[in-house]
A = this chain, B = another copy of it.
C-alpha cells in the first residue's frame, strides 16, 4: 500500500528496467507515493547480482535502487508473459498507464505497441544515445569531457568518476518527464511519448554549466586543477595528524573569516599590497591560488584536526573533513554518525539484514518519507496477477508452465 498522504498517491507506474537510471527514477516516484511495479524476466535482469554484495551474495545495489517497489517476475520472451505485462500497464486505472523502461529490443513494450491499448499512455524510454545506440555511464562520461579535467594537476590520464552521476541525473530527468506528462494528461487528457538519452543528459550538463561555451566561445582549453575550485578559492588541506579538510571561500566574508582563523590577515594583506591585487576578488584568489594555498597549508600542517575543527567551527567558512564510507557507518559510541540523520532509518532487507537506508532526500512538511525495503524478486507476482482478475487456478497454471515466477527464483 502506498501512503495516501504522499504527493503521488494513486499513481501507478510499471518499470521494466535494470541498472541505475530507470530503477532510480522509478524508486523516486515510489518514494513520493506512487505504486511502482518493477517487472523482471525470470531469474532477474542483468543487474540482479550487481556489486556491491552482502555476505549472502544478495546485491546491495539492487536492494538499494528498488526500495519501496513491487516486483513481478515474468517470462518476457513468451507472448503470454508479454500480454500479462501489457495488461498490468494498460488496466491500471486512470492514474496508471505509465511506463518507465531502459529495455531495448522489446517491440511489444514500445510506445507504438502499447498506445492502441491505452490512448493516454505515458511512456519514457531511457536509451544510450538519441539514435537508439547503446551507452552506459562510463562510456558517456568518457565521451563528454569530464574525465579529462578531473583528478590531480599534471596527471596525464583520464580520471573516471566512481559516482554514476549521469545515471542518477538521467533517472531523475525521467521521473520529471513522467510528472510533467501526468500534469499534462490531467489538464488535457493526452498522453506522452518521451525518451531520455544518457549521453544527452551528460552533454546538457556540460552545456548548462558553461563548459561547452567556454571551449566554443572563449576558446579556453580547460585543464586539470586538482581539488582547486575553478575561478575562486577552495582546496583540500592536510593537518599535522593526517586529517584532511576541504575548505571553500566563495564570498568576501568566507575569505575574511578564513584569513582570521588561520592568522594570515597581516601576511596576506602585505602580499596584496606588494602584488597590487585584491584577494577579496574571486578572480585574484584563483590567479594566486597556489601562493595562497601555500600559506594556508603551513597553518593546517601545524595544527591537528581537532584544532582545525575548533578554529573553523565558529566561522562563516564552508568546510568539511573528508570521510570514507566506513567512517560514515562507524560506531561512534552512540551508533554511526549517519544514524542521526532524519532521512536515514533501519530497514530489514531479506538477504541483507537490518541496515541504515536513506529515504527520499526531500522533506515534506518537515519530515522525509521513510525508506521501505526492496521487494524480493517475484514477491508480488501473484498479487498483481490477481488484480488482473486471474483466479488461483489460472495463476498456478502460469507458474506451472513457467510463464511467471514467485520468490522461488
Contacts and interface: CB of A to CB of B under 8 A. Distances in A.
Given A8-B183, A210-B60, A236-B157, A51 B230 contact: yes
A345 to B, nearest CB: 11
Given A197-B363, A200-B343, 10 more contacts: A6-B180, A134-B318, A145-B325, A146-B161, A151-B151, A160-B227, A194-B364, A204-B359, A213-B357, A216-B355
Interface residues of A, number: 151
A84 interface: no
A370 interface: no
B208 A65 contact: yes
Contacts of A270: none
Given A134-B318, A212-B329, A363 B195 contact: yes
Interface stretch (A135-143, A298-306, A396-404): A135-143
A51 B218 contact: no
A262 interface: no
B139 A150 contact: no
A52 B220 contact: yes
A79 interface: no
25 contacts: A8-B180, A46-B251, A51-B232, A52-B211, A52-B214, A52-B230, A54-B213, A54-B217, A64-B209, A130-B363, A135-B320, A138-B248, A142-B320, A142-B321, A145-B323, A148-B322, A149-B324, A162-B230, A170-B361, A176-B179, A179-B179, A183-B183, A200-B343, A207-B358, A215-B329
Given A142-B321, A147-B322, A322-B148, A183 B179 contact: yes
A377 B172 CA distance: 29
Given A46-B250, A186-B186, A144 B362 contact: no
Interface string A209-247: 111111111101110011101111010100000001110
Contact of A163 (B20, B161, B212, B358): B161
Contacts of A327: 145
Q: Number of copies of this chain in the oligomer?
A: 2
A212 B162 contact: no
A324 B214 CA distance: 12
A206 interface: yes
Given A52-B230, A180-B33, A181-B7, A213 B362 contact: no
A142 B236 contact: yes
A2 B117 CA distance: 32
A234 B137 CA distance: 11
A189 interface: no
B341 A28 contact: no
A63 interface: yes
A176 B364 contact: no
Given A361-B173, A361-B203, A209 B320 contact: no
A163 B356 contact: no
A256 to B, nearest CB: 15
Nearest to A342: B130
A148 B320 CA distance: 14
A231 B46 CA distance: 13
